[in-house]
Amino acid sequence: MKQFIKLSVLIVAALVTALPGCQAPKEIPSAKHYVWMGEGKDEDNVVLEQMFIKLKETGIDGVMYQCALEKYPAAVELAHKHGLELHAWQTILRRYNNELLEEHPDWYTVSRDGKSTAEHPPFVDYYKWLCPTKPEVRAHLTKLVEDLAEVPNIDGVHLDYIRHSDVILARDLWDVYGLVMDKEYAEFDFCYCDDCIERYKKETGEDASSFADAAPDNVRWRQFRYDMVTETVDELTKAVHAKGNKINAAVFPTPTISKKLVRQEWDKWNLDAYYPMNYNSFYREGIDWVQQSCKEGVEALDGRAPLYSGLYMPAFATPEEFQLAIQASKKGGASGVCVFTPYEMKDAHWQILKEEIDNW
């Protein structure tokens, strides 16, 4: 009898789906929870294993882990020993190692006022950015993600800084750098390198180098910058998938904010998961903003992939605020949370995180 009922339900569902204008309901992914963490300066396998054990006991499913390529196999083995996923977390377009700077200074982005980030990084010295338009840069980055995807048993490649430098900083950072970023200023507006200018002119007939102060109002030029990042992500996605692995990324909160601040149109990407950094304190927003950010992101993705809400521990004045942010993420439709970082958590935070994961 039970088999007959089950078969009947499946037949009805199939018939309804086949009707004009009807679609099968989207599959809701089961909840998962993650952390971002890097290799500590003095961290050894004993300390790392203790953290992995604590994460698993709390209900965390995986780790976005940042270390040198050669150290990933041991980290993966240790994570799997304790039932955790481990994804290779690496910065992508913001790259400032000496070898690249010395051998390929022409790979770096150029501002509207003609300054390369290789020599004149904005805000801080490590803000040296590769240009996503350049074929050589894409080839270099493709090799990087392929190497990461080939680490034995690794669970995925996690992209970070896959965007342009901030054309407008998050509001809370204005005072830090003594700036008023109420519009797009030339020294923070990227990229105007020869490759960008030439390709854009070939596609549109317009010379972006002549835009000057009118550049921010040119919709096609702005879209071109979004598209160059998106094309790069598409190439990296295909490369990782060809290796039989998964790819995901840390992104700015909401497609609206990410486009405005960092030329990142992530809702047009085709990743396996998205981790918006819902760092409410950066935007001088309250906890409710986290829910709205998740809601906008989930709606933009429209069921194509899960969204995990990135939570920034220093943003929470009390453990109760941390709890409310987790709850806000759930209410906003997130498939889980990703905490930055577990090293900043106290006993009360760990207890709250476990309770909220258990009740998700």
pLDDT of residue 190: 98
- Judged against a pLDDT cut of 60, whether residue 108 lies above it is answered with yes
Residue 42 pLDDT grade (very low, low, confident, very high; cuts 50, 70, 90): low
For 313, other C-beta atoms within 10 Å of its C-beta total: 17
Is the pLDDT confidence value at 245 over 60? yes
Mean of pLDDT values over 221-244: 98
For 147-194, give the DSSP string: HHHTSTT--EEEEES-S---SS--GGGTTTTT---SS--GGG-B--SH
d(CA 99, CA 139): 16
What's the pLDDT at 331? Answer: 98
Peptide bond preceding 58 in cis form (omega within 30 of 0): no
Q: What is the pLDDT of residue 46?
A: 86
Average pLDDT, the chain: 92
What's the confidence (pLDDT) of residue 43?
Answer: 62
In which band, very low, low, confident or very high, does the pLDDT at 45 lie, cut at 50, 70 and 90?
Answer: confident
What pLDDT score does 11 carry?
41
Buried b / exposed e along 325-350 (16+ C-beta atoms within 10 A): bbbbbbebbbbbbbbbebeebeeebb
Q: Is the pLDDT of residue 7 over 60?
A: no
Q: How far is CA 1 from CA 4, 10, 14, 169, in A?
A: 5, 14, 20, 63
| 231, two tokens | 């094309």
For 198-226, how does the pLDDT look when each residue is reduced to its tens digit (9 = 90+)? 999 999 999 999 999 999 999 999 999 99
Which of residues 13 and 48 earns the better pLDDT score? 48
127-136: per-residue pLDDT in tens? 999 999 999 9
What pLDDT does 29 receive? 59
Sequence-separated (6 or more) residues with CB below 8 Å from residue 175? none
Cα dihedral across residues 210, 211, 213, 214: positive or negative: positive
Runs of H (alpha helix) within 31-106: 45-58, 72-81, 98-103
Residue 10 has pLDDT above 80, yes or no: no
* pLDDT for the residue 276: 98
Check pLDDT > 50 for residue 21. no
Q: What six digits make up the tokens of 199?
A: 């390709």
Q: Among 313, 312, 281, 275, which residue's Cα sits nearest to residue 294?
A: 275
C-alpha pair distances (Å), 16 with each of 202, 242, 334: 49, 36, 28
Residues near 92 by beta carbon (within 8 Å), at least 6 away in sequence: 141, 144, 159, 160, 161, 162, 236
Alpha carbon of residue 238 to chain centroid: 17
Tell me what percent of the residues of the chain surpass a pLDDT of 90.
88
Mean per-residue pLDDT, 174-197: 97
Q: Span 90-103, mean pLDDT?
A: 94
Question: Can you tell me the distance from the alpha carbon of 269 to that of 130, in angstroms, rounded to the nearest whole number?
Answer: 19
Written as six digits, the tokens of 314 are 């220093």
Q: Is the pLDDT of residue 4 over 70?
A: no
Name the least confident of 39-43, 250-254, 272-276: 39-43
DSSP state of 332: T
The string of pLDDT tens digits covering residues 289-342 is 999 999 999 999 999 999 999 999 999 999 999 999 999 999 999 999 999 999
Residue 360 has pLDDT above 90, yes or no: yes
What is the C-alpha end-to-end distance of the chain, expressed in Å? 34
Residue with tokens 């806000």: 328
pLDDT exceeds 90 at position 26: no
pTM score, two decimals?
Answer: 0.91
pLDDT of residue 146: 98
Q: How far apart are CA 294 and CA 275, in angstroms?
A: 10
Percent of the chain clearing pLDDT 70 (strictly above)? 91
Instruction: Report the pLDDT value the prediction gives residue 24, as an integer from 0 to 100.
Output: 45
